[in-house]
């Protein structure tokens, strides 16, 4: 059994204090959690060693060319940049997290969000606040907020916001001084037709993070210092999210709560999902059944160096 790790939650960020092999790590909004291909921080190319140890501070920019990248926002929220895209960190505060998509596209997976998490995405000078768990996409080249699942609130001027619900999108239009103008009502869209490479890559990353959660959730006993947060998985070489109870990501991948073990099963991409074999035990459980994971390898071609080897 893997040595138990002691977790101390510090202002909502995960601070891992354990065996030397695990290291001491802090995750906060803006932590780079995955890179694939060419990714740059303020013009300097990142490597696999940057994963988990590099943060975006206010005013700093993360960009991609032929490649993709993932950063952590508030605990349970992942922002993923598409090829040829760029995002700027405005505020990394846990209660006021703001990023600006400067060009290209981004997908955002929201697995857990609370009323005190003010999570804003700026696109074309327009602020969109993510309100509920779900999956969202933004396009800075053709400014649009798309809500595949969840709920967003888009600023439309004079301190007013317009709700955008699941399966709806809204064009983002800025006025003089980058102030948002009044816009048309949100339009519905076919979420199945909109599932392109960016969506599928987000689903794949969600699958990997569910696997990472599956590997380490049983190692945390839920003592007095435990809080839902980011936890480092040295096998997958990234942070994953562990919450108070079991849940599914917007893509249908199952996540364990702390200290639990058993088996999830699910088909992914619109399959049928369920939960089975739950119990409080001390060791990790590896593998999903019915279309889930097979060992630590998968497709994707990104950097997952270190303890667990690499995905190819």
Q: Tell me the sheet residues that pair with 31.
A: 55
Mean pLDDT of the chain: 78
> In the prediction, which pLDDT does 219 show?
79
Top pLDDT among 273 and 218 is at: 218
Q: How confident is the model over 186-230, as pLDDT tens digits?
A: 999 999 999 999 999 999 999 999 999 998 888 776 666 677 889
What long-range pairs does 84-90 form, CB within 8 A, spacing at least 24? 85/140, 86/61, 86/62, 87/56, 87/61, 87/62, 87/63, 88/59, 88/60, 88/61, 89/29, 89/30, 89/56, 89/57, 89/58, 89/59, 89/60, 89/61, 89/62, 90/58, 90/59, 90/120, 90/122
Question: Which residues touch 187 (CB under 8 Å, ≥6 apart)?
Answer: 168, 169, 170
> In the prediction, which pLDDT does 312 show?
26
Q: Taking phi first (over 0 means left), then psi (-120 to 50 degrees means alpha), and beta for anything else, what does residue 5 get?
A: beta
Q: How confident is the model at residue 255 (pLDDT cuts 50, 70, 90)?
A: very high
Q: How confident is the model at residue 52 (pLDDT cuts 50, 70, 90)?
A: very high
Residue 75 token pair? 């605990």
Taking residues 293-300, what's their average pLDDT?
31
> In the prediction, which pLDDT does 211 show?
94
Question: Which residues touch 193 (CB under 8 Å, ≥6 apart)?
Answer: none
Name all domains of the chain by residue range, CATH numbers in brackets: 6-18+24-195 (2.60.120.1440), 198-221+229-308 (no CATH)
Query: Is the model's pLDDT at 24 over the cut of 50?
Result: no
Top pLDDT among 118 and 292 is at: 118
Q: How confident is the model at residue 159 (pLDDT cuts 50, 70, 90)?
A: confident
> In the prediction, which pLDDT does 143 show?
94
Query: Is the model's pLDDT at 32 over the cut of 60?
Result: yes
Taking residues 13-20, what's their average pLDDT?
32
Distance CA 203, CA 220 (A): 26
Distance CA 273, CA 229 (A): 24
Q: How confident is the model over 54-87, as pLDDT tens digits?
A: 999 999 999 999 999 999 999 999 999 999 999 9
Taking residues 36-42, what's their average pLDDT?
96
Top pLDDT among 146 and 178 is at: 146
Sign of the alpha-carbon torsion through 220, 226, 229, 232: negative
> In the prediction, which pLDDT does 264 show?
45
Percent share of the chain, pLDDT over 90: 59
Taking residues 237-253, what's their average pLDDT?
93
Q: How confident is the model over 101-141, as pLDDT tens digits?
A: 999 999 999 999 998 999 999 999 999 999 999 999 999 99
Contact 207, 298 (CB under 8 A): yes
> In the prediction, which pLDDT does 179 show?
66
- Largest separation between any pair of C-alpha atoms in the chain: 61
């Amino acid at each position: 059994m893997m040595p138990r790790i002691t977790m101390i939650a510090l202002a909502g960020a995960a601070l891992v204090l354990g065996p030397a092999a695990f290291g001491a790590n802090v995750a906060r909004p803006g932590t780079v959690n995955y890179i694939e291909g060419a990714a740059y921080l303020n013009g300097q190319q990142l490597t696999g060693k940057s994963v988990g140890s590099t943060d975006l501070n206010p005013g700093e920019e993360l960009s991609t060319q032929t490649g993709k990248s993932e950063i952590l926002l508030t605990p349970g929220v992942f922002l993923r940049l598409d090829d040829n895209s760029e995002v700027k960190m405005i505020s990394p505060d846990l209660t006021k997290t703001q990023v600006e998509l400067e060009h290209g596209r981004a997908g955002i997976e929201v697995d857990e969000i609370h009323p005190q998490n003010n999570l804003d995405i700026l696109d074309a000078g327009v602020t969109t606040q993510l309100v509920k768990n779900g999956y969202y996409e933004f396009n800075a080249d053709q400014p649009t907020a798309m809500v595949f699942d969840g709920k967003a609130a888009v600023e439309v001027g004079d301190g007013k916001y317009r709700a955008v619900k699941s399966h709806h999108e809204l064009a983002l239009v800025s006025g003089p001084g980058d102030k948002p103008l009044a816009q048309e009502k949100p339009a519905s869209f076919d979420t199945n037709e909109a599932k392109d490479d960016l969506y599928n890559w987000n689903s794949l990353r969600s699958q990997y993070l569910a696997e990472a959660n599956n590997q380490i959730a049983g190692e945390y006993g839920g003592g007095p210092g435990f809080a839902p947060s980011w936890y480092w998985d040295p096998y997958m070489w990234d942070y994953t999210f562990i919450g108070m109870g079991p849940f599914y990501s917007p893509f249908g991948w199952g996540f364990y709560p702390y200290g639990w073990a058993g088996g999830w099963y699910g088909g992914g991409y619109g399959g049928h999902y369920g939960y089975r074999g739950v119990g409080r035990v001390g060791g990790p459980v590896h593998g999903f059944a019915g279309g889930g994971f097979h060992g630590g390898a998968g497709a994707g071609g990104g950097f997952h160096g270190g303890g667990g080897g690499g995905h190819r």
